[in-house]
Chains A and B, each alone.
Chain A
Amino acid sequence: MTGRIERSLTYGILALFAVISLTPVVGVLSSAFGRQSSLDTGFSLPDGLNWGNFADAWTRGHFGTYLTNSVLVALVVVVATSVLAVLAAYAFGVMRFPGSDLLFYLFVLGLTLPQEALVVPLYFDLRYWELTDTYWALILPQTAQSLAFGVFWMRTYFRNSSRSVIEAARIDGATSWATLWRILVPMGRPALSTMVVIVFMWTWNEFLMALVMVSDEAHRTVPLGLAFFQGQHSSDTALLAAASVLIALPVVVVYVALQRRFIEGMLTGAVKE
């Protein structure tokens, strides 16, 4: 008896929390598909699916351009971070050399370092090198910041990878380079894909650096586009919502497909030694 009451109470609490989690999301979805003129920002089931808002956001809001920029930046950051982090983490994970601990802790430092502590001089440096308002201004700082997580995360993988496999490769005469790319990287695909989705999400959602580094419209990424869009059309709820959906969708799709990787990566990234 008490068991059953407790059980339904628990499911009730769970459902309540789920509803609270989803309400803003559903709200955005409903206004994105709603009618554009409607001033009601609250909940009203839209009368049918209006795809027009998305077309409007795409053309009037220039979200086509912004999405292209975001894809380009995210792609380069993810590839660069992966390659550089794998190389460095391999050395930290399986080799010993003087100063390796100190160097590794320098990378770990970046895990909790706020962007706000870097953005001011970064802006003046990149402006001096005439890199502001270019893709480089978005890619280079973001890659450096992603490396902190990438190196930390991949080092854990290399540390835990089987010693006997590495030793067997050595005995077969494989160089350290071949051992890494032919054996450890293919074996480490789960760890790698976790890092890739996390870095992709961070880069895709990144806002402060983009806001500071980019002033021309041609290089705006989607979060920046949405912020400017809100400044200009703050009353146009339907368009804002449609643009929000366009931004969130790629990450949410990957998240739903690979939620374990996301959760694992985001929760263990903070666990320092």
Chain B
Amino acid sequence: MSTAPTTEGQARPLGAHPEGDGGSDTNRRRGRTMRDIAARYRRQAPGEPRAVGYLYVLPALVLYALFLLVPLGQTVWLSFLHWDGLTVATWAGLDNYQGLLTDPSLRGPFLHALVLLLFYAALPVALGLLLASALSRFRVRGTTFFRTVFFLPQVLAMVVVGVAWRSILAPDGLLNDALKSVGLESLTRSWLGDYTWALPAVGAVGTWVETGLCVVLFLAGTQRIPRELYEAARMDGAGALREFFAVTLPGLRAEIAVALTLTIVAGLRNFDLIYITTSGGPGNATSVPAYEVYHRAFETNEVGSAAAMGVGLTVMIFVLTVGVARLVEGRNR
């Protein structure tokens, strides 16, 4: 390569790898083709600025803009209006947003969403860590089977999950049957019809759905933690608890961030489950922003307020996911 013909010199900075050996500098014809190739290569090098890139992006961008970016902007616009979906809209200014903060029927859903996040995000991550740390202590057989089973709830349609759990939580459902059979008849109730218990019951379904995801993530994560760290911890006489806090938890930081991001987003985008199991009831006990957007826009014709709710939900998701990322990065430094 050190004796490469001078004609090829131009291509060098671009990282070209001319074929053939470098000793062909006596062959003038070959030198010319090399020069042609180098010229063409320079013109079309992949990393070079190329206007043709816009053409490749354009079809996707048009569709994405028409059916995602524009509606997003329209939602923001609608949130500043009073509109029933039929008659002429009137300017509302910040009225709809003020309502989100002051009106209990609008503020309530956000509080419910925060409660649900304990079930959708905090509990699954805690359970996942528990299970993963138990499994990190030695090689487990049949991981593929367990992984497939744990992750299964993630691929089921939430409508199906809702129908299945509605029958489990029904007054004559599996949960009450099980409670009766162990003599806890006093605890049986209509789980989804109870003002106190409906929200935790819906939350428990979220825990069921999301725990498997966390377990699968953390299992993959613990496998990447070097064995030597565990051995060193054990040599220092660390018990299971110390080992968890000194080795497993720091080693899983990235996975915990991913798990929290995914579960928080899933916990706030939970329209399907609420619609199928409780429709926000009893009363407003399980109403969440995702459900209220639909309810207000298409059932009670408060489009402006629904749009403000949608914006509020979006902001909530972005703040929480960015917060999780910050938290993880911050500790990294």
Could you list which residues of chain A lie within 8 angstroms of chain B, going by C-beta atoms?
Answer: 3, 6-7, 9-11, 13-14, 17-18, 20-25, 27-28, 31, 39-43, 80, 84-85, 87-88, 90-92, 94-98, 100, 103, 106-107, 110, 112-125, 140-141, 143-145, 147-148, 151, 163-164, 166-167, 170-171, 173, 176, 201, 204-205, 207-208, 211-212, 222-223, 226-227, 230, 237, 240-241, 244, 247-248, 251-252, 255-256, 259, 262-263, 266-267, 270-272
Instruction: Give the shortest distance, in Å, between A185 (CB) and chain B (any CB).
Output: 13
A116-B208 contact, Cβ under 8 Å, with A167-B16, A256-B148: no
Dominant secondary structure at the B interface: helix
Is B195 positioned at the interface, with any CB of A under 8 Å from its CB? no
Contacts of A22 on B, CB cut-off 8 Å? 149, 152
Report which of B47, B53, B166, B310 forms a contact with A117, defined as CB distance below 8 A.
B310
In the complex, what residue of chain A is closest to B148 when comparing beta carbons? A259
Instruction: Give the shortest distance, in Å, between A248 (CB) and chain B (any CB).
Output: 5
> What is the bound-complex CA distance between A27 and B311, given in angstroms?
38
> What is the bound-complex CA distance between A242 and B173, given in angstroms?
17
Instruction: Give the shortest distance, in Å, between A19 (CB) and chain B (any CB).
Output: 9
Flag the segment in B95-103, B230-238, B241-249, B257-265 that touches A: B257-265
Report which of A14, A103, A173, A212 forms a contact with B61, defined as CB distance below 8 A.
A103
Is B71 positioned at the interface, with any CB of A under 8 Å from its CB? yes
Decide if B155 touches A255 in the complex (CB within 8 Å): yes
> What is the bound-complex CA distance between A166 and B50, given in angstroms?
15
What are 12 A-B contacts defined by CB distance under 8 Å?
A10-B140, A14-B131, A110-B68, A114-B290, A119-B310, A120-B297, A151-B60, A170-B40, A170-B45, A248-B156, A251-B156, A256-B148
A163-B258 contact, Cβ under 8 Å, with A116-B294, A147-B60: no
Is B201 positioned at the interface, with any CB of A under 8 Å from its CB? no
Contacts of A43 on B, CB cut-off 8 Å? 174, 177
Contacts of B16 on A, CB cut-off 8 Å? 167, 171
Contacts of A204 on B, CB cut-off 8 Å? 157
Decide if B53 touches A167 in the complex (CB within 8 Å): no
Report which of B135, B165, B318 forms a contact with A14, defined as CB distance below 8 A.
B135
Decide if B150 touches A96 in the complex (CB within 8 Å): no
> What is the bound-complex CA distance between A266 and B75, given in angstroms?
28
Contacts of B21 on A, CB cut-off 8 Å? none
> What is the bound-complex CA distance between A14 and B145, given in angstroms?
11
Besides A171-B37, A222-B157, 6 other CB < 8 A contacts?
A10-B138, A18-B149, A21-B153, A115-B269, A118-B71, A120-B75
> What is the bound-complex CA distance between A118 and B69, given in angstroms?
9
Instruction: Give the shortest distance, in Å, between B254 (CB) and chain A (any CB).
Output: 8
Is B314 positioned at the interface, with any CB of A under 8 Å from its CB? yes
Instruction: Give the shortest distance, in Å, between B199 (CB) and chain A (any CB).
Output: 19
In the complex, what residue of chain A is closest to B47 when comparing beta carbons? A96
Decide if B151 touches A176 in the complex (CB within 8 Å): no
Decide if B272 touches A208 in the complex (CB within 8 Å): yes
A114-B310 contact, Cβ under 8 Å, with A27-B168, A95-B52: yes
A24-B306 contact, Cβ under 8 Å, with A39-B172, A123-B298, A262-B151: no
Decide if B54 touches A97 in the complex (CB within 8 Å): yes
Task: Mark B40-55 against chain A: 1 for CB-CB distance below 8 A, else 0.
Answer: 1100111111111111
Is B170 positioned at the interface, with any CB of A under 8 Å from its CB? yes
Range class of the B interface residue count: 35 or more
Is B271 positioned at the interface, with any CB of A under 8 Å from its CB? yes
Decide if B155 touches A42 in the complex (CB within 8 Å): no
Contacts of B66 on A, CB cut-off 8 Å? 140, 144
Contacts of A148 on B, CB cut-off 8 Å? 64, 68
Is B78 positioned at the interface, with any CB of A under 8 Å from its CB? yes
A87-B53 contact, Cβ under 8 Å, with A226-B159, A244-B163: no
Report which of A6, A28, A263 forms a contact with B137, defined as CB distance below 8 A.
A6
> What is the bound-complex CA distance between A230 and B277, given in angstroms?
10
> What is the bound-complex CA distance between A44 and B31, given in angstroms?
82
Decide if B157 touches A205 in the complex (CB within 8 Å): yes
Decide if A110 touches B290 in the complex (CB within 8 Å): no
Decide if A20 touches B272 in the complex (CB within 8 Å): no
Is B303 positioned at the interface, with any CB of A under 8 Å from its CB? yes
Decide if B165 touches A112 in the complex (CB within 8 Å): no
Decide if B317 touches A114 in the complex (CB within 8 Å): yes
Is B147 positioned at the interface, with any CB of A under 8 Å from its CB? yes
In the complex, what residue of chain B is closest to A115 when comparing beta carbons? B269
Instruction: Give the shortest distance, in Å, between B233 (CB) and chain A (any CB).
Output: 16
Is B15 positioned at the interface, with any CB of A under 8 Å from its CB? yes
Task: Mark B162-199 against chain A: 1 for CB-CB distance below 8 A, else 0.
Answer: 01111110101110011000000000000000000000
Instruction: Give the shortest distance, in Å, between B185 (CB) and chain A (any CB).
Output: 15
In the complex, what residue of chain B is closest to A15 when comparing beta carbons? B146
Report which of A25, A112, A143, A271 forms a contact with B317, defined as CB distance below 8 A.
A112
Instruction: Give the shortest distance, in Å, between A8 (CB) and chain B (any CB).
Output: 12
Instruction: Give the shortest distance, in Å, between B192 (CB) and chain A (any CB).
Output: 12
